[in-house]
Structure 1
Amino acid sequence: MMDILKPLFIITPVLLVLAIGIIGFVFQYQRRMLQHQEHLRQMQEAKQRQLLEATIQAQEDERRRVARDLHDEVGAMLALVKLNVHQLTVQAGANGSGTQVKKMLDDVMSSVRHISHDLLPVVLERMGLAHALTALKNGLPADAGIQLNVTCNQNDKRLEARTELLLYRVVQELLSNTLKHAQATAVTIELLLNATDLQLNYQDNGKGFDHQHLLQQPGNQAGLGLMNLQARLQLLNGTINFDSAPNSGSKAIIYVPIS
């Protein structure tokens, strides 16, 4: 009997070691595959991030170019036209039509300055995000019927230029959506800064919207705008959360690390 079982005593440990080895090999293979997939995912995310950053940087460069062209060339040409109109009006004697033309030129020059400052916010570069957000009041259309209130717990605190610009563009997009779609009469912006992060609260009293529904609508401009917000904040490792429903206003809460 022992002679019959002796081969089993010899083979069984060998088979057990072999089975353990196979299990270990499969485990290591799966682990390596998961690591490889994670590495590929990280590479893909990094490439998408680089592409997104390059796209946004190209947009900002184009904004700067257009803003300078408007200010340096178009603005100078309009000023020259206004001077010529003034001289012609003086030579022809004061009349209503000349005054009206100068008024129209003043309006056009004001619009050009507004567009130029909107594309290239000088206040943002010189004084920082809090002051630039406050200055948004001056850019609201006269007939918008919206009261804009801006508060900040540290008005003179400066952030990285890239962070300030991306956050400013996010608020611009939110305000643009409010003006176009919300039918609001009041907007409140609250900027809270501390040593490690910031919170920016944007709230209006408009008709509200269904956030998820907008994102699911292909080609919807409002939905694309929200995706653009998320893309900009992604570059800052930030988040944006919406609290809105039809006929109840809307609120956006933004968190960004700044340490």
Structure 2
Amino acid sequence: KDDLTTFDYVELYLNLVYAYEQIGDYKKANFYSSLAYEYSQKLYNENLSDKIREIETKYNITKVEDEYKEKSKQLEERQSRNKKIIFIFVALFGFSLVLFYFFYQNLQLKQRNKIKELDSEIQENIINASIDGQEKERKKLSEVLHDNISALLSSAGLHLSAYLVGHKDEIPEEILKARSLLKEAHDQVRDLSHELVPPVLAKLGLYYAVQDLCEKNSNSIINFTFNYFGSNQKRYNEEFEIKVYFIITELVNNIVKHSKATSGYITLEERNNQIIINVEDNGKGFDSTKTYNSDGFGLTQIKARVKNLKGKITINSKLNAGTLVYIKLHIPDH
């Protein structure tokens, strides 16, 4: 009973209403209809709370951007003040012109480095805030599609099928088309829910989700091999599993779309309360020593994800020699 969701209660009471109406017990049907309405209102309130949390996430992103602008402004004002000080010293102490010139250049360099560091930090925070919001929205939307909309479509289909059983001799074509459209809508909602957050990840865990990912992306052109060193029954924190899964998914997508590889290798290993991820391919590779290349193919977002998890990432790649991505993440306690 404790495992039932609010939607499960709504569906349960609606089915009871239908059942008691069929046997003619309208008193009980009315009682369960009231309960179904009560839980429908509760479900509406829960969905409303989710929308409020979504607005809060967007507000936090805006707040981070405002803080970045304010800090940049302060740094620019400080730089302007430093320029004035330097010019005064140059005017008063002409003999020290060269000395102050170097001091000024050094100060300028530090200011630029600080701005770059601040810009990099703010950009990472914005990326991570966006990613966290996207992952939460993925999970919640997947749950709503699967637990609410998909279930409602299934229930409507069952009611329609029950009606058709009692009217076998006279079945309007419109009713048959409606049942077909309901089934198609149910299948599309189910597929979309699985794309947002794979059910194997939620039900079985990271090991089986990555194994399924390799199987789905293997074909006659490229084959993915998965190795895991640890217990395949081990479950981690749900949020941690989702973040790790989408990091690996993004790397696999890069291999499929860009590498022109024929083989991909994914290895997961649990060691010293850390999870080690190796993603390798035999594709065309790129020059990982060049920043503009190594930050392509969504690697900037992957680096931000890893840093947000307080992990380390190393990318080794050479032209026509494949790519190896090594990631080390600390496993959260809870």
In which range does the TM-score fall when normalised by the shorter chain?
0.5 to 0.7
State the secondary structure of the residue aligned to 1:199.
Answer: strand
Structure 1 residue runs of 5 or longer lacking an equivalent are 1-17, 218-222
Deviation at residue 203 of structure 1 after TM alignment: 4.2
* Residue 302 (structure 2) pairs with residue 229 (structure 1): yes
How high is the sequence identity, in percent, across the aligned residues?
25
State the distance in 1 between where 2:181 and 2:316 align: 41
5 Å-filtered alignment, 1:31-46, equals 33-46=108-121
Which residue matches 1:6?
A: none
State the distance in 1 between where 2:99 and 2:292 align: 45
State the secondary structure of the residue aligned to 2:276.
Answer: strand
State the distance in 2 between where 1:180 and 1:22 align: 57
Which residue matches 2:146?
A: 71
Change (3 A) 1:254 1:99: farther
State the secondary structure of the residue aligned to 1:241.
Answer: strand
Length-normalised TM-score, structure 2: 0.49
Deviation at residue 79 of structure 1 after TM alignment: 0.4
Which residue matches 2:130?
A: 55
State the secondary structure of the residue aligned to 1:92.
Answer: coil
Which residue matches 1:169?
A: 246
> Does structure 2 retain, via aligned residues, the 8 Å contact 1:197–1:255?
no
Length-normalised TM-score, structure 1: 0.60
> Does structure 1 retain, via aligned residues, the 8 Å contact 2:306–2:329?
no
> Does structure 2 retain, via aligned residues, the 8 Å contact 1:233–1:240?
no
> Does structure 2 retain, via aligned residues, the 8 Å contact 1:201–1:251?
no
Which residue matches 2:46?
A: none
State the distance in 2 between where 1:158 and 1:24 align: 62
Q: Counterpart of 1:235 in structure 2: which amino acid?
A: N
State the secondary structure of the residue aligned to 1:150.
Answer: strand
State the distance in 2 between where 1:84 and 1:168 align: 38
State the distance in 1 between where 2:185 and 2:247 align: 27
State the distance in 2 between where 1:121 and 1:158 align: 15
Structure 2 residue runs of 5 or longer lacking an equivalent are 1-92
Which residue matches 1:239?
A: 313
5 Å-filtered alignment, 1:66-215, equals 66-90=141-165, 91-92=167-168, 109=186, 112-121=189-198, 124=201, 128-136=205-213, 140=216, 149-155=225-231, 163-177=240-254, 187-195=264-272, 197-203=274-280, 208-211=283-286
State the distance in 2 between where 1:38 and 1:103 align: 63
Change (3 A) 1:111 1:195: farther
Work out which structure has the larger RCO, using CA pairs closer than 8 Å and 6 or more positions apart in sequence. 1
State the distance in 2 between where 1:46 and 1:161 align: 26
Change (3 A) 1:73 1:163: closer
State the distance in 1 between where 2:318 and 2:160 align: 51
State the distance in 2 between where 1:147 and 1:108 align: 33
Q: Counterpart of 1:134 in structure 2: which amino acid?
A: Q
Q: Rg bigger for which structure?
A: 1
State the distance in 2 between where 1:30 and 1:225 align: 36
> Does structure 2 retain, via aligned residues, the 8 Å contact 1:144–1:179?
no
Any idea what the Cα deviations from partners look like across 1:48-100, whole Å, max 9, x if unmatched? Answer: 2211111112211221232122113320222023213432443427x9x9999
Deviation at residue 133 of structure 1 after TM alignment: 1.8
State the distance in 2 between where 1:121 and 1:63 align: 10
State the distance in 1 between where 2:110 and 2:208 align: 47
State the distance in 1 between where 2:190 and 2:219 align: 19
Deviation at residue 241 of structure 1 after TM alignment: 2.3
State the distance in 2 between where 1:30 and 1:120 align: 52
Q: Counterpart of 1:92 in structure 2: which amino acid?
A: K
